[in-house]
Amino acid sequence: MQKLTTTLLISTLTVGGLAIAGTTMARHGDGSGHCGARSMQGKMHGPGKTAGIGHAGKRIAAIIQLEKSLDLSKEQRTAVREIMKKARMAGRVHRDILIENRLALHDLMEAEDFNEQETRRLAEIQADNKAELMLLHARTRADIRAQLTDTQREKLSELRQDRGFGYGFGHHL
């Protein structure tokens, strides 16, 4: 009886492990665990994604929670959402360039001969686009804060302090 239980347990663990491995390979195309544009073929990242899936769903949920926490008026909600929409559209161009350049840089690194001039050119384009995204983020943040009352700005600062600092911890507004 104990041998049967052990065999069933090992079989279950093996099948479960294979299922997880198969799911990972299906998600990432090559099983690499990376979600780059090539292996993902743009399925999780990029323009036109639906709310509730991946990063977009988390972003929308955070915005809705922020609207409730700050008790925004209907006009403020509309203005904030419009600001966010414009920022997403403006940022999309830069993100697309970053993806394309990253792929081109990867190809250069895989080439037989190192081309320092082309690598430098692409690296500079990457840096410029990252800087533009940072400026867009700062501009968007300032535009949103301009829509808030003094009380709402204070509440926002309190919320940010409660969540902490750094990437992923209240850095959005």
Mean confidence (pLDDT) of the chain: 74
- The parent domain of residue 162 ranges over 73-173
Domain with residue 107: its CATH number is 1.20.120
Judge whether 28 lies within some domain.
no
Residue type, 77: R
| C-alpha to C-alpha distance for 86 and 75, rounded to whole angstroms | 17
Judge whether 96 lies within some domain.
yes
Judge whether 94 lies within some domain.
yes
Judge whether 164 lies within some domain.
yes
Judge whether 25 lies within some domain.
no
C-beta separation of 137 from 129 below 8 A:
no
Domain tally for the chain? Answer: 1
Contacts of 54 (CB under 8 A, 6+ apart): 44, 45
pLDDT tens for residues 58-99? 777 777 887 888 889 999 999 999 999 999 999 999 999 999
Judge whether 9 lies within some domain.
no
Judge whether 126 lies within some domain.
yes
Judge whether 20 lies within some domain.
no
| This model's pTM is above 0.95 | no
pLDDT for residue 104 is more than 80: yes
